[in-house]
A and B are shown apart, each in its own frame.
Chain A
Amino acid sequence: MKLKIILLILPIILFQIGCASTDLKPITTGNFAPETDERGIWYQVEEEQKALNRSGVLYTDKELEEYLNETARKLYPNSVLAQIPFNIHVIKNRQFNAFAYPNGHIYVHTGVLACMENEAQLATLLAHEMTHVTHRHAVKGFRNLKNKSAVLATLQVTFGGLGGGVGDLVSLLGTFGALASVYGYSRELETEADIEGFKLIKEAGYDTLESVKFFELLKRDIEEEEIKQAFFFGTHPRVQERIENYEDLIKSDNRKSAKSIINAEQFLAKTLKVKMDNIFLDLKAGRFKKARRAADNRRELYPNDAKVYYLLGKIETQERGDNGIERAINNYKKAISFDPSFPEPYRELGLIYLKQNNKGHATDFFKQYLSLSGETNDRAYVEEYLKQCKEGDKP
């Protein structure tokens, strides 16, 4: 049904766009009313967005979303927000991506949030994406496409061919979400988003130096990834472009802002959970270096956090195998010392001792794990291990 609607609407949009100009006033100038083709695009975008929201990829953390929206609202006066009510959402995905739909809905991956250190960096990203919306880059970009039907058909094929299963996620974002998140806009429009975004963070009082720091952090993580990511913010040349643009903007900025907000503490408090969840995503994906650095950073900030020691223990055993055992044991024991009611480290210690044939120790830790974990979906394994310990079998 959805496909039928899109197939019906798309030729109309394409026809209208064919004759339309790309000289559009930004929404910020007031009295905004979408043009006919723009309304068509918005309609399609809403359909794409519904599918995305239904898919289950969204990361639900109301407090985090509220904080992201609050930060976005600091960047524009109410007069603009009345015309385009921005709405920030989070996608549970470790890859570096953020994109804006032309109707003001902005999606940020957990992977990008995990890279950031403070609110000024968050504001940099949001201001860039919000400029795509206020300056109507989706419709401008679309009007600039020479042969729209051919381009769209090619895009669908190209998305499917993207590596690492990314194509499937990209197709989930729909045509406009994919255009924004994979290809970005033209160099001119992206530069406009940098310039206008820079103005916004400066007007809001944020420390503009943090803009470059954010993209530098992103660049460092991209270089460590080894595998090329498909998304705009995961692509080395596009991030390098951002760094150069923001460096130029800082150099040419003579007026020093009166305040320079960084807001690291509040940012870290609000992103505590998402950052931890993203370390688990990195660990599952076998991105040990990134997971370890994020866990180390967290340990520095929260030296009594049992979960972080548990994570470090997992990283040691999974990355270094037998060479990481001693360090893993220390980390698991620290985790228990900080939170004796946290079950997982007991289980990991039980497994280590079982493999070392130290069945007495293994039995103690497995029993403690079962008593703390309640109804757990891996109970059968642990009961089997206890049986092996009792019978004197080797695992």
Chain B
Amino acid sequence: MRKLLILFLIIFVSSCAPWVQVGGLYESSGDNFKIELPNGWMKSRQSNELLITRDGILLQTISVERLDIKHEFKNTKKKLVKGMLPEEASEVILDNISSAPEIAGLDIIESAPAKIGGMSGFKAVFKYNTKGGLRYKSIYYGFIDGEVIYVIRYIAAQRYYFDKDLNTFDKVVNSFHIIKKV
């Protein structure tokens, strides 16, 4: 029993990247981007993803993810292709989300072209229910740069939290820049 508990603790501790308070310029040469982070939010660096939240990840998160375009998605067998139109890339991303069995009632509110750090990309705004019956609202920005795709997303509980931090998210998106263009 004690061994099991220790094993569980090891798994738990090793699976959690530390959360640190942030604010100001964040630069990742490995992921080739820089961004302004809001003051007082907490940051966690996962393998391919920078994650920030102020009140907790169940209430609101802003994340920046950099993926190889050959990346296999969890819920769709569709693939991203180099040179794809932003709208086509957006369709693959949204199909992966809508094919997730735990997501219900996905409602796409807006699907539009967007400029992110001067790069041509996409913006998708949508709502969905979680398994607990909670309603979330989300905005995804993304673009393909050579062999990689960058996705900047904002997910928040639709009630209260989404509107509350929308300006902060807009500022984060506007501050995003690629360090070295492909």
Contacts and interface: CB of A to CB of B under 8 A. Distances in A.
A287 B77 contact: yes
Interface string B76-116: 11110100010100000001001111101100111111000
A110 interface: no
How many B residues touch the partner, as a band?
20 to 34
A54 interface: yes
B111 A377 contact: yes
A166 B102 CA distance: 7
A237 B140 CA distance: 41
A381 B111 contact: yes
A378 B131 contact: no
Contacts of B48: none
A169 interface: yes
A395 B79 CA distance: 20
B23 to A, nearest CB: 33
B2 interface: no
Contacts of B74: 164-165
Count chain A CB atoms within 10 A of each CB in B78, B101, B131 and give the residue with the most: B101
Contacts of A171: 131
A168 B111 contact: no
A51 B133 contact: yes
A82 interface: no
Contacts of A260: none
A95 interface: yes
B102 A378 contact: no
Given A380-B113, A381-B113, A284 B95 contact: yes
A381 B76 CA distance: 23
B69 to A, nearest CB: 14
B interface secondary structure, majority? loop
B131 A351 contact: no
Contacts of B104: 55-57, 92
A395 B104 CA distance: 34
Contacts of B78: 286, 318
Contact of A377 (B102, B110, B129): B110
B101 A286 contact: no
B131 A172 contact: yes
B101 A95 contact: yes
B75 interface: yes
A285 interface: yes
Contacts of B110: 377, 380
Interface of A: 51, 54-57, 92-95, 164-166, 168-169, 171-172, 281, 284-288, 318, 321, 351, 355, 377-378, 380-381, 384, 395
Given A56-B129, A165-B100, A380-B110, 12 more contacts: A51-B133, A55-B129, A56-B104, A95-B101, A164-B101, A166-B101, A168-B102, A172-B102, A286-B79, A377-B109, A378-B112, A380-B111
9 contacts: A51-B133, A54-B133, A56-B133, A165-B101, A285-B75, A377-B110, A378-B112, A380-B113, A384-B113
